[in-house]
Amino acid sequence: MKDYLLRPDPADPRLTERVVGRDHTGAEVAADVVVERPLTLFLNGQEIVTLMTIGDHPDCLAVGYLLNQGMLRADDTVTDIEHDPDLDVVVVRTARATDYEAKLSKKTLTSGCAQGTVFGDLMEDFDAADLPPDAKVRTSWLYALTRAINTTPSLYLAAGAIHGCVLCEADRPLLYMEDVGRHNAVDKIAGYMFLNELAAADKLFYTTGRLTSEMVIKTVRMGVPILCSRSGFTAWGVALARRADLTLIGRARGKRFLALAGEHRIVYDADPEAVAEEPKAAQRKAAVT
C-alpha cells in the first residue's frame, strides 16, 4: 500500500511531555502525555476564536475551521497565513474583505470533546450540498483501511487522550490528522484539502470518534460522500446523513460494521469470515513500536 501524503509524527517532541507518576502497584513510572495549547485565530483583522489544540499544522487547522464555519468560501483566495508560535496566534488573510460580527454573535456548542463551537446557523448551506450518488465503497477497502489505520504509528498509540481522522481514497489512507478534539482533526483535513486543491467526490472520511450531527455536517460540507467510524451513532447524526444521502458506516471493528444511511454505495466484495478480528490497542501499540 502506498504511503500517506501526511500522517502523525508521534516522535515530534512538541506534541507530548514526559510526566512521572506512580502506577497501581505504587511503582514510579514515566508516561508520555499529549500537550494542549491555545491557538487564537484571526481572519484578516477580526479575532474569530481561540482553539485548544496539540499545535501541529496550524495553517490547515485555521483554514479548515474557517471553511467549516462558512467564513471562508470555496472560491476565496487565501493571500497569506501567518503563524506566531510564541504568541500562539494564526492569521489567515484573504483577497475578499470579511466581517463576521453578526455570525459570531450566534454560537452553538457541539457534542465534540473539548466542546467544539459552531458560529451562525448550524445547518447553513447543508441542504445545498450535492454528494455524488455514484461513489462506491467496497467492503474489501473498509477492511484494508481499518487494518492500515489501526497499525499506523500515532499519538493515540503513543500517549492516548486524542482523536484521529483520516481521508482515504479506495483502500489507501491519504491524510491522517490527530488532535484533542475530533472537530480539530476534521478541520485540519478540510484545510489541507483546500490549500492543496484535493478533490472530495471520490474520497472516504474515517474518524475514531462518534458519528454525531457535527461530524455529519462537516463531512457533507467538505463534499465527501462516505463517512466511517470505529465508534457509534447519534440519532440526529443518522437523520442528517439520510437527509444528505451521506453513506454512514459505524462500529467498524475487525470484520464487523453497521451502515445506517447511504447503503446503496456499499459493494459487498469481501468475505467477512476471511477477515481477522481486530487486535486490542495494547497489541497494536506493540506492533508499531
Here the CATH number for the domain that contains residue 160 is 3.40.140.10
Residues 6+ apart with CB under 8 A from 274: none
Grid cell at residue 248? 454512514
Inter-axis angle of helices 213-222 and 235-244, to 10 degrees?
A: 20
DSSP string covering 145-165, please? Answer: HHHHHHTS--HHHHH-S-EEE
Residue 42 lies in a domain: no
Residue 200 lies in a domain: yes
pLDDT tens-digit readout, 50-93:
999 999 999 999 999 999 888 999 999 999 999 999 999 999 99
Cα 160 off chain centre by: 16
The amino acid sitting at 227 is L
E strands in 225-268: 226-229, 247-253, 256-261, 266-267
Tell me: pLDDT of 137 over 80. Answer: yes
Task: Round to whole Å and give the CA distance between 78 and 81.
Answer: 8
Residue 150 lies in a domain: yes
Which range marks the domain in which residue 270 is found? 137-288
Determine the pLDDT at residue 101: 76
Residue 236 lies in a domain: yes
Residue 283 lies in a domain: yes
> How many folded domains does the chain comprise?
1
Residue 253 lies in a domain: yes
- Asked if residues 154 and 287 have their Cβ atoms less than 8 Å apart, the reply is no
pLDDT tens-digit readout, 198-257:
999 999 999 999 999 989 999 999 999 999 999 999 999 999 999 999 999 999 998 899
Residue 248 lies in a domain: yes
Band (pLDDT 50/70/90 cuts) for residue 121 is low
Share of the chain above pLDDT 70, in %: 89
Residue 10 lies in a domain: no
